[in-house]
Amino acid sequence: MTQELVLEIMKNSIWTTALIVGPILIIGLMAGLSVGVFQAITQIQEMTLTFIPKIILIVLALAIFLPWMINKMLDFTRQIFEMISAIQ
């Protein structure tokens, strides 16, 4: 196993992780930002108001993106197994 192969595996794993969690994090960020703007405009400073919309939107995003996320993880796993079989 060469150093270049290890670096390529690390690069691919970081890229795959960022690609998988990206949509969920962006939706959570947008929900938090919109609730924060709403709280600033209306001057409602209720702490539980920030959590409920985020939880609902993240669960909806997971329901929408989960099949795609699983396919990406399976592709990455297949790629790793192919690399392992090519080494031996």
* pLDDT for residue 88: 65
pTM greater than 0.95 (yes/no)? no
Retrieve residue 30's tokens.
């947008």
**13: closest CA among 80, 64, 68?**
80
* pLDDT for residue 48: 80
* pLDDT for residue 40: 87
**62: closest CA among 32, 23, 33?**
23
Sign of the four-CA dihedral 45, 41, 29, 61? positive
* pLDDT for residue 50: 82
Domain boundaries, the chain: 3-87
Give the residues of the chain that fall short of pLDDT 50: none
**Three-state DSSP class for residue 47:** coil
